[in-house]
Chains A and B, each alone.
Chain A
């Protein structure tokens, strides 16, 4: 075909021929829109950052306050994602494996952190965990302060990250072949051995993916954190908040650097997730 229509030959290599119409206009529109809304603005950030040079970026990124904010953001996000991996797995397990009253309601509730605007979650969590709040009030006599400390950030990040692990693990768990577990039992494994040696390892790629998603979301989270965090520099100030503060001080350079670091981390996470999925597909023939 390329010999018959040499002028159009390169085109056919870019796309498989199809009888369906509308490829050019839809792809063209999608690319234009993607460029205008996403790529060019993100490009502006990268351009701005590259104007600073690596030295400039390094200097800002390692300045004490920025470093502290990045450490708080990444440290607490890691902890929250870890807790979410455990409890998210547990919730996914219970919702998939057991039948009990209000299961559907609980299942729907898992998505609440997706649906509830972050500012709403923020003020509500602050109200609950504040020293005079429903739970904060119970903990205050024990000397445990949650709101306005890094612990408060942790609570907010557990809230926003929960659905990621549950919703990544749930479909894999539901698709898990019951016969595999029966096979394990017939080979003499106790239920505990079956769960830890057969079920959980099959869920590992999904758990890791969920962890990475929850972590990524937590690192970038802003709305639900700032109300409960207390926002003390060097202690409970998260990186996204520092971006906002730098912007308000017209320190565009500082804001750009922090944002670039966070964007780089986001890309790295995206890459990690893709690698996990590719590894899982290659090895187990499924995601």
Chain B
């Protein structure tokens, strides 16, 4: 290092007599100035208020614009009630289906090593990348009157699109990944040693799953089911394409919102919307509680 460039040492530094008056609480090295910090916080709050909070608030304000009576009147309308019933029915079918799939797929993917595993993992997420409208369209192309199976279905007098089965199928499609994608990373993280231990202790395979695996993933499972349910009840685009919009028959709540809105029954539309917004809020609260209370049990590598 003898040939190192001469170091400009001990250059006369500008005087620094202010050492005596130190600030009361000096800023940490990795912090911004108070002004910058406040500015950033204000911008973030402003942005979220404008784009997120305001739309949420508007739903309830608009729903109650003409008083509580008008608001409640919407729900005594039989078409509204039918829409609520259908929404619950669709969720009641599609959520358990996707839950069973999610658990099975997670078991196979997370606990075993096999060829094509990463491809399968990608395919599980595929429905998230597909536009809701396209998700609906594929079922029309498959089961519609001009679809691949249309003539056969017609011959057997089976109606899938523009009927409840189509709505269920479209909903299952768009909510397909929710449970699996919560479980897979978590179960991968947890490995197989606990299950192997249970097996060596004489537990059967199914018992091992029930007593060892399931308790380890129950919060993540609940989390996935929660999100799956919210999307199942709220799905609009895919369901809209396959529903046929028959009032009282193939109208789910989101579709009913659209119909009322297009008929200029704004209070009615926002009243039904407020119910869905309430569901969204409940989901968010439950999600936050789960994350806050059981964050570790949900696993690290969680995306949405």
Question: Which A residues lie within 8 Å of B205 (CB)?
Answer: 20-22
Report the Cα distance A137→B56, complex, angstroms.
18
B147–chain A nearest beta-carbon distance, Å: 7
Q: Looking at B122, B138, B192, which has the most chain A CB atoms within 10 Å of its CB?
A: B138
Pick out which of these stretches binds chain A: B1-9, B18-26, B70-78, B269-277. B269-277
A14 to B114, CA, bound (A): 6
Q: Which of A47, A159, A162, A270 contacts B148 (CB 8 A)?
A: A47
Apart from A18-B113, A120-B280, A222-B240: 5 A-B pairs, beta carbons within 8 A: A29-B104, A93-B40, A118-B237, A119-B255, A120-B254
Q: Say yes or no for A282: interface residue by CB 8 A criterion.
A: no
Contact B273 A185 (CB under 8 A): no
**What 1/0 flags go to B162-184 for Cβ under 8 Å of A?**
00000001001100100000000
Given contacts A18-B192, A19-B199, contact A222 B51 (CB under 8 A): no
Q: How far is the CB of B231 from chain A (nearest CB, A)?
A: 8
- B93 interface contact, C-beta 8 A: no
Interface residue total, chain A, C-beta cutoff 8 A: 100
Instruction: Return the chain A residue nearest B172 by Cβ.
Output: A37
Contact: B176 with A18, CB < 8 Å?
Answer: no
What CA separation (Å) do A190 and B37 show in the bound complex?
16
Q: How far is the CA of A257 from the CA of B41 in the complex (A)?
A: 45
Q: By the criterion CB–CB under 8 Å, are B134 and A117 in contact?
A: no
Given the complex of chains A and B, what is the CA–CA distance between A13 and B105 in angstroms? 20
With beta carbons under 8 angstroms apart, the residue of A15, A241, A270 that contacts B114 is: A15
Query: Can you list the 3 inter-chain pairs with the closest CB atoms, starting with the nearest?
Result: A220-B131, A117-B234, A21-B205
Are A223 and B132 in contact, with the CB atoms below 8 A? yes
Taking CB atoms, residues of chain A closer than 8 Å to B134 are 45, 220, 240, 243, 259, 262-263
Please report the C-alpha to C-alpha distance between residue A117 and residue B140 in the assembled complex, in whole angstroms.
22
Q: For the complex, is A204 an interface residue (Cβ under 8 Å from B)?
A: no
Q: Which of A149-203 contact B (CB under 8 A)?
A: 155, 158-159, 162-164, 167-168, 178, 181-182, 185, 191, 194-195
Asked whether, in the complex, the Cβ of B59 is within 8 Å of the Cβ of A120, the reply is: yes
Q: With the chains together, A15 CA to B114 CA distance in Å?
A: 4
For the complex formed, measure the closest distance between the CB of B198 and the CB atoms of chain A, giving whole angstroms: 10
In the assembled complex, how far is the CB of residue B38 from the closest CB belonging to chain A, in whole angstroms? 9
With CB as the reference atom, state the residue of chain A lying closest to B226: A115
The CA-CA distance from A241 to B137 in the complex, in Å, is 12
Known contacts A120-B276, A266-B129; A98 and B41 CB within 8 A of each other: yes
Could you tell me if B55 and A128 are in contact, using CB atoms closer than 8 angstroms? Answer: yes
Q: Tell me, rounded to whole Å, the shortest Cβ–Cβ distance linking B290 to chain A.
A: 11
- Contact partner of B304 (CB less than 8 A), chosen from A21, A164, A256, A262, is A164
How many residue-residue contacts, CB under 8 A, span A and B?
A: 306
Kindly supply a per-residue 1/0 record for chain A positions 99-125, scoring 1 wherever the CB is within 8 Å of any chain B CB and 0 otherwise: 010001011111111111111111111
Are the CB atoms of B235 and A117 closer together than 8 Å? yes
- Using a CB–CB distance below 8 Å, which chain B residues touch chain A? 29-33, 37, 40-41, 43-45, 47-48, 50-56, 58-59, 62, 100-101, 104-105, 107-109, 111-115, 120, 122-124, 126-127, 129-134, 137-142, 144, 146-148, 169, 172-173, 176, 192, 195-196, 199, 205-206, 208-209, 227, 230, 233-237, 240-241, 253-255, 257-258, 261, 266, 269-270, 273, 276-277, 280-281, 283-285, 287-288, 292, 303-304
B176 touching A37 by the CB < 8 A rule? yes
A115-B230, A182-B30 known; A124 and B129 CB under 8 Å? Answer: no
A269 to B126, CA, bound (A): 11
B237 touches A240 (CB 8 A): yes
A275 at the interface (CB under 8 A from B): no
Contact (A114, B304) CB under 8 Å given A20-B205, A162-B51, A222-B237: yes
A interface, over-half SS? helix
B278 smallest CB distance to A (angstroms) = 10
Selected from A39, A117, A220, the residue in CB contact (under 8 A) with B276 is: A117
Tell me if A121 and B55 are in contact (CB < 8 A). Answer: yes
Residues of B contacting A222 in the complex (Cβ-Cβ under 8 angstroms):
131-133, 236-237, 240
Q: In the complex, what residue of chain A is closest to B147 when comparing beta carbons?
A: A44
Q: Which residue of A lies closest to B274 (CB)?
A: A120
Please state if A18 and B55 are interface contacts (CB–CB under 8 Å): no
A185 touches B304 (CB 8 A): no
Contact residues in A for B108 (Cβ distance below 8 Å): 22-23, 26-27, 30
A residues less than 8 Å from B30 (CB atoms): 178, 181-182, 185, 194
**Please, what's the 1-or-0 string for A28-44, where 1 marks a CB less than 8 Å from any CB in chain B?**
01110110011111101
A127:B62 contact, CB within 8 angstroms:
yes
B236 lies within 8 A of A159 (CB) = no
Q: Is the CB of B44 within 8 A of A128?
A: no
A284 part of interface (Cβ distance < 8 Å)? no
Residue numbers in A under 8 Å from B47 (CB-CB)? 87, 90-91
**Which residue of A is nearest B40, CB measured?**
A94
Cα A4 to Cα B58 with chains together (Å):
71
B261 surroundings in chain A (CB, below 8 A): 123, 227
Listed A/B pairs (23) with beta-carbon separation below 8 Å: A15-B114, A23-B112, A25-B104, A26-B105, A40-B142, A41-B139, A41-B173, A108-B285, A108-B287, A110-B48, A115-B234, A117-B273, A118-B132, A118-B237, A119-B257, A134-B54, A167-B304, A182-B30, A185-B29, A219-B131, A223-B132, A240-B131, A270-B129
